[in-house]
Structure formats: structure tokens, C-alpha cells
Amino acid sequence: MASSGKPPLDDSRRTTGSPKMKTRENAKETLCRNVTIYGRCRYEDKGCAFNHDPQKLNAAHQADSNKKRFNVDSPSFTPSLLSGNGTSAPKKSTTISPKAASAAPFQPRVAASRMASDPEPWTSPLTGKGSNASTPTGRQEAGTPDWTVADVQEFVPGIFDGSHVASLQGNGNGAITATAGFDPFVTASTPLSAAGAVGPVSANPYAHDTAAAMGGAFFANQTGFQQPVQYHLYAPIGPHNQNTLGYQRNVHDLFLPNDFREELQKKAAATLQTLPNTQLPAQVDYFHSLVPLDLSHQKNAATFGYPSWVYKAQSSKDGNFYVLRRLEGFRLTNEKAIRSVQAWKRVCNGSVVTVHDAFTSRSFQDSSLIFVTDYHPLSKTLAEQHLGTGARFQSRHTSHIPEQVLWGYMTQIANALKAIHSNGLAARVLEPSKVLLTGKNRIRLNSCAILDVVQFDTQRTLVDLQRQDLVNFGQLIVTLGSNSPNVMHNPTKAMEHFTRAYTPQMKNSVYWLLGALQKDQERGIDTFIVGISSQLMSTFDSALHLDDQLTSDLSRELENGRLVRLMTKLNLINERPEYEHDRQWSESGERYYLKIFRDYVFHQVDAQGDPAVDLGHILSCLNKLDAGSDEKVTLISRDEQSCFIVSYKELKKTLESSFQALMKPARRLH
Ligand SMILES: Nc1ncnc2c1ncn2[C@@H]1O[C@H](COP(=O)(O)OP(=O)(O)OP(=O)(O)O)[C@@H](O)[C@H]1O
């Protein structure tokens, strides 16, 4: 500190008037006011008569400087870490006043309140070059707007910047104590909301019970997110691209893979597809907007004994999309028959298309039976996929199904049958045109429940029907393995082909299924599942890999929703024409920073004056803004006459307060 000529002595000890006005005795008792903190008086050699006792002077300086920060009667707040500017924190005093013991604990103000009351000496890097210097509290030195937003509650997630050297910790009683260690995991949700906390505190929207959700032991000492949040740091989550280094990112890494996105979008489009000017009824019970799914107009009564038609439809009860399967010309003679669907509603299994309802209808100008099931957009039947049947895929070249894929089908069908049989039911329909392929190698049994209604009076026992399911299962696999829909007309030839194409384990499994109706043996789906357990493991492992892949894909989109919300806010705030063509809104005051921040993010130009299109820059800026990072950014006005240095933290604060102002009904501006 440079001497100002007036050393900071206590007023009570300061001389009043010139030294020459005092007697020498009086002067000797008065501490010299010209002594600098280095203990030297500029007038000592020239006969200064005041007291230069170094010990007394030192004590006076000490008392004075303590008054500026803390004096010995202050509570025992003794920071032990480095302060924000990198200098050492003052040493802890070894002696302490007895009063300190009963003093209220020191409660440092949070960053926001400090920022408003304690402007730092900010300097612009352009100041020395003659540019307009700016201050953190205003656009220019003149007409300084205040950063403080008194009436807007700010979210204060317990951020401590470097200048805060103590940490706040709940002591278990809800009170706050100052501790010497800095704990970056302290959040507003617990300690700052405790009684006596200083500064505006609102609920932390990001707070969640980490200890309960993630395992108390691992996060034992953490009560929330690490602060400051690091949303702008994209952590690589595998599986990784082999062609790039760990830190390298390309645009595709930040979004879902294109093929996956395309698949999802196509499914969404298919779900929303409508058919105008259709001859179909506008309403079938509580369903509307019917779209036919089977494009073949041939009536086929082979499976159910009645021609069946499949439609996508929207429910007016819940707005969701379902499939209606209509059995044309069916007359319900026994009411109990349709009640059997209740049992099917309870079958909730990933390998079965869920059945929701069944009712009779006259909407098609006949007597029809309607089954309501889940809709799986863009799915195909296994017959369409592998056997070349079905109108859409008639000319399709069918190829040999690899053994692993076939094992995958077998495990999924076994999974479905286990769920069905353990619910006291039998699938009864198990053929390639009634197994849906809803994703890559992902199948579901379709049209279950129908025969239970249509052939309600069957004489066969449940055990018999369940065994028949196993036989149908075996025949389905042989048919798929042979790539021929009619192969079971000649079973011997079919098995010869199958034996040549697949391993003995596969062949034995299929033989076992085909023999399920033999009376001498107890055969059930549980026994079969035990027999193919090694294959179950490999299918399970594939499912885990897929799960990893999907998690990785999902993580790429992690920050995108957040950034869209942030950009929405920015766009809502910037350029409000209703406020005198924006002049009243953002041409002055703190919103002006947001306006030129937008230029900084989106409108940069390169050395040639061409637009700089850099997604990395944009994402990085937006993430830092959302995280409210301490990093500072230099903003230059469009006319290049003004330059400001603002931190993302302050920009975030402005963004929040502006957004709140926007939502005030009276549109009060400040
Ligand atoms: N739940 C469903 N979700 C989505 N699409 C389905 C659903 N059920 C059936 N489909 C589709 O509807 C179409 C017709 O199905 P259907 O079961 O009638 O097969 P099909 O090949 O026409 O058999 P069939 O000749 O016995 O009528 C198929 O392309 C199938 O993919």
C-alpha cells in the first residue's frame, strides 16, 4: 500500500491541526500522523515533534487495519486457504478475546450479495490502448446501472468463489458453522436455507437426494452437485470412436447417431400418419383416425377362422395410438368368451404384444370382434422379414438366418411362453405371420388372446394347449431356419435341411420341442429354458451391450434439452419490439450485455469478415452461461465504441432477472 501522507491511524489518536500549533510536551504524547506503515516519518529529519515510538505506532496501525477487516473482538473467522487472487490468507491469531467465544458465528455473504456491494477493480485489457474502460457495475463509467436485482429472488446454489475461504456446514441442528476447510459440495438446499443464512436463497431445482438414490456410502459427504457446475465439460462415455483421441469431439458425438435418429423419426411419422378420405368408419367405439396396416386386400381366414384386418387408431380416452384387429363377421354367442381377455391384460412381458381390450362392434356395417393391442410403429412380421410373404415384401430376397439370431428369437419366444404359461394361459397362435419384429432382432408374440375368445368352447385342456405351444414353437423355428413358409408340409425334408444348416445343440432343442406332445414325457417351458441356459446368457449379454450403447447415445443428448431451454430464454429476452422497438428494454442497462453477448456467441466474423460458424464455440458459451461460470468474456458493442468485461456468472444473473421481469404481468421495467 502506498502512503497517502495520512497514515491510517485511529481518529482518537490523530493530531488536529499543524504540529507547530502544539507544545513540544503535548506533541511527544501524540502519535505522528505522518508516519507511513513502514514506520518512517517524512518530517522526522526536519524536526517533527510527534511521537515516533515504533511499538505504539505499530499497535495503532494494527488496530486500524483490524478495524477495516476484523478486529480481535470479531468472531473467530480465520480463513486458512488461499484467497481468490492467489495470496495467502492471513495467519490465524493465536490470542483471542474471551468475547469471541460467545460471539455469533461469522456468516459470509454469498457471491451474489458480495458482487453487488463490493465492486472489484476490474480492468479492461483495452484500457491501455485508449478504449473506453468499463466497470463491472455499469456499461460505462457514466450512467452506471446497478447489477443488484432487489426484487428477483436469485438461485444461489451455495457457490463460493476463490475469495470465500471458509465453508458453511450444517452442524446437524440446522445451524451453520464456519469451518476452515472449503467444501465444494455444500449446496443451498441444506445449509444455506437454515435459519440465519445470509442472502436470498431459493429452492435448488437441481437438488436431489443423492445419498438415497446413488448409495449413501459412496456419496457420504456430498449433499448435491459439485459447485461450480461443469456442464460445459463433455465427458466421453463409451463405446468410443477409434479414429479420434480422447479429448477430441466431432459434431456427431454431441447428438444421437443419425441412423438411430432417423429410425425414431420414421417411427414417429408412422405413428402420426393419417388417411384422409378413407372409407373406414370415423369412429370405432372410443377410437378414431383409423389407418389400415395390412396392405393385402386378400381375405385370409386361415389363422383365426375369420378374415382379420389390422388398423392403427387413436384412442379418444388417452390420446395414445393402438392397434385394432378386427375379426370380420364374428358373432359373440357366449359372453364368458370375451371375458377371457381379462387374464391376457395381466400378461406384461417384453416379448408379448400387450392386449388392452376386446369388444364387439357394428361400426364396419357388420358384426365384428375388435381386439385392442399395443401399437409398434413400422414393425414387420417374421414372415415378411424372413419368408418373403406379405404384400409389401413379396419380392424381397430372403436369406439364411444366422444361428445367433435364431437363438435370440428362441430365447425371446421362450421368455414370452414362460410369462403366458405361468399366467395359466396358452399362446395358441405361434406362426411367422403372428410374431412381430419391432426392432433389430427384437420380437414379440402377436395376436395372443384371440383364439381364447374365438374358440372358447375348445375341449382341449390347458396343459394340452401349452404343450401344443411348444410344438408350434419348434415348427416356427424350423420354418424360419429353412426360409420357406410351407416347409412343415414335408417334415423330414425340413429337418434334413435344418440339421445341415445349424449346430447339433440347436437341432436337439428343436427336436425336443417338436416331441412335446408325446404322452410319456413331462415337457414344459421351464424345462426347455433350463436346457438352453447357455444361450440365454449370450442373449442376455447382447441385451446388456445394447443397453450400454443406448445409455451412451442418450448421454450425447444429455445437455441438449437444457441448452434449448436456455436459448429459448435468450430469444425471449433479446429484441423485444413492444418496448419502444427494444430501446427501453435492452438498449441500456444490464440487458444490453445480453444483447451483445448474443453477437459474441452467434454473430462472430472471421478476419475476412465472413460469418464464423463454430458449433463448438456456441455450445461452450451457452454451457458456461448456464453454469454461471466465473470466466470473464470481453463483449464489444456493434459500433465498436464500447467494450465490457463481464463474467458468465453476471450474465446468467442478468438473464434470470430479465426473464423474471418479462414474466411480470405489469411489465414493470427497472
Ligand atoms: N401391434 C402391431 N403394431 C404394429 N403393426 C402391427 C401390429 N400388429 C400387426 N401389425 C402389422 O400389420 C400387418 C398385418 O398384420 P397381420 O397379423 O394381419 O399379418 P398378415 O401378414 O397380414 O397375416 P394374415 O395373412 O394372417 O392376415 C403386418 O405388416 C404387421 O406388421
Pick from 45-49, 324-328, 512-516, 645-649: least confident: 45-49
Ligand 1 pocket test, pick from 273, 294, 434 with the greatest ligand atom count within 8 Å of Cβ, gives 294
* Cα(437) to centroid(ligand 1), Å: 10
Give the CATH architecture of domain 560-663.
Orthogonal Bundle (1.10)
Centre a 10 Å sphere on the Cβ of residue 202 and count the other Cβ atoms it contains.
14
State CA 470 to chain mean position distance. Answer: 44
Q: Is 184 annotated as a binding residue?
A: no
Q: Which atom of ligand 1 is nearest to the CA of 308?
A: 27
Q: How far apart are CA 87 and CA 101, in angstroms?
A: 28
Instruction: Quote the percentage of the chain above a pLDDT of 70.
Output: 59
What does the pLDDT read at residue 388? 81
Cα→Cα distances 193→157, 162, 185, 187, 325, Å: 10, 22, 15, 9, 58
State which amino acid sits at residue 435: V
Question: Is 325 annotated among the ligand-binding residues?
Answer: yes
Assign 393 to helix, strand or coil: helix
Pocket test for ligand 1, best of 300, 310, 392 (most atoms within 8 A of CB): 310
Q: Cβ(309)–Cβ(325) under 8 Å?
A: yes
Q: Copy the grid coordinates of residue 550.
A: 443406448
CA of 310 relative to ligand 1 center, distance in Å: 6
Atom nearest to 444 CA in ligand 1: 1
The alpha carbon of 152 is separated from its chain's Cα centroid by a whole number of angstroms, namely: 26
293 Cα to the center of ligand 1, angstroms: 7
pLDDT bracket for residue 4 (50, 70, 90): very low
Question: Would you say 381 is a known binding-site residue?
Answer: yes
Distance 438 CA to ligand 1 centre (A): 11
Condensed to tens digits (0 to 9), the pLDDT of residues 223-241 reads 555 655 565 566 666 666 6
Residue 360 has pLDDT above 90, yes or no: yes
- pLDDT (tens digit, 9 = 90+) per residue, 405-452? 999 999 999 999 999 999 999 999 999 999 999 999 999 999 999 999
Distances, alpha carbon 140 to alpha carbons 135, 626, 630, 633, 639, in Å: 7, 26, 21, 16, 14
Closest ligand 1 atom to residue 302 Cα is 26
Per-residue confidence (pLDDT) for residue 77, from 0 to 100: 45
| CA 363 to mean position of chain CA atoms | 45
Q: Which atom of ligand 1 is nearest to the CA of 437?
A: 31
Residue 70 has pLDDT above 50, yes or no: no
Cβ-count burial of 158 within 10 angstroms (0-12 exposed, 13-18 middle, 19+ buried)?
Answer: buried
C-alpha cell at 196: 440465519
298 alpha carbon to ligand 1 midpoint, in Å?
13
Ligand 1 neighbours by CB, cut-off 6 Å: 293-294, 296, 300, 303, 308, 310, 323, 353, 373-376, 379-381, 383-384, 390, 433-434, 436, 446
Answer for the pair 433, 390: CB distance below 8 angstroms, yes or no: yes
SS3 232: coil
User: Which of 144-148, 409-413, 496-500 holds the top average pLDDT?
Assistant: 409-413
Q: Which of 293, 304, 311 to mutate to test the pocket of ligand 1 (most atoms within 8 A of CB)?
A: 293
Highest mean pLDDT among 77-81, 163-167, 226-230, 515-519: 515-519
Is 54 annotated among the ligand-binding residues? no
The residue among 522, 528, 481, 490 whose CA lies nearest residue 509 is 528
Residue 3 has pLDDT above 60, yes or no: no
Number of the ligand 1 atom closest to the C-alpha atom of 303 = 26
- Confidence category of residue 402, pLDDT binned at 50, 70, 90: very high
The response to whether 593 counts as a known ligand-binding position is: no
The third-level CATH classification (topology) of the domain covering 265-550 is Transferase(Phosphotransferase); domain 1 (1.10.510)
Please, what is the average pLDDT of the chain?
Answer: 73
As a whole number of angstroms, the distance between CA 171 and CA 596 comes to 45
Sign for the pseudo-dihedral over CA of 352, 354, 358, 362? negative
Query: What pLDDT was estimated at residue 582?
Result: 63
**Could you give the ipTM of this predicted complex?**
0.98
Please state the domain extents for the chain.
1-74, 265-550, 560-663
**Could you give the percent of the chain with pLDDT greater than 90?**
41
CA 371/CA 359 separation, integer angstroms: 7
Q: Which residues contact 204 (CB under 8 A, 6 or more apart)?
A: 155, 157, 187, 188, 189, 224
- Kindly state the average pLDDT of the residues 131-144: 35
Answer yes or no: is pLDDT of 459 > 70. Answer: yes
- Of ligand 1's atoms, which has the minimum distance to the CA of residue 447? 17
